[in-house]
Amino acid sequence: MDRKTIIALIISIGVIAIDQWSKFWVKTSMYLGQEYKIAGNWFYIHFTENNGMAFGMEFAGEYGKLFLTSFRVVAVFGILYYLIYLLRRKETHSGLIVCVALIFAGALGNIVDSVFYGIWFNDSYHQIASFMPEAGGYSSLMYGKVVDMLYFPLTSGTYPDWFPVVGGDSYMFFRPVFNIADTAISTGVISVAVFQSKFYPKQEEEKDELSERKQPT
């Protein structure tokens, strides 16, 4: 097993383990809406659940939930296939391996919630959930809710009255509540976008050559 494969395994297993541990702890230690202040007024552990995408976004109700979960399952296999493809290429940049491993691990972490949490746990409304309750879970396979808990309300205020459209409205940054898996996905995607010239040097060289050819002599 080469160094890049070991890196990918450590990152994938580490992220999934931390993500699932944090979700299990929140689910079996807190009720929905409960929060703990961690640092000042800018970092909380705030328990919430969502049916949809990253950062609490949702999509088209019950059928949308089934579609989204199914899409996630297919997507994670696609990401895994791409990660294996990159690992087989000797020239693949180690940084790209790290980024794709983060994206894969994050996607798989949220899939576990979506696929299994509905049958693994009972609901968390005004109560702390139990793992594998005798009465059954709060939903069925593929209809689980993603557990979110990281909340960073760094700053808040009111837009000036002269500001277009939202003038006079209140704002808060950063409002969405998210989890470790979301963080891994976002870190991987943003890093690929920022460092793509290093990760895909041949493609950048081809673009430069094509641009030079198009320039008039």
Is 168 within a domain?
A: no
> pLDDT tens, position by position, for the chain (217 residues)?
899 999 999 999 999 999 999 999 999 999 999 999 999 889 999 999 987 655 445 555 667 778 888 988 999 999 999 999 999 998 999 999 999 999 999 999 999 999 999 999 999 999 999 999 999 999 999 999 999 999 999 988 898 888 888 888 888 888 899 999 999 999 999 999 999 989 987 654 555 455 555 565 5
Neighbours of 45 (CB within 10 A): 18
The structural domain count of the chain equals 1
Amino acid at 107: A
Structural domain includes residue 159? no
The answer to whether position 203 is within a domain reads yes
Which of the residues are catalytic?
A: 148, 182
What does the DSSP 8-state code read for residue 215? Answer: S
Q: What is the pTM of this model?
A: 0.85
| Phi, psi dihedral angles at 176 (to 5 degrees) | -60, 145
**117 is in which domain, residue-wise?**
3-37+46-148+176-214
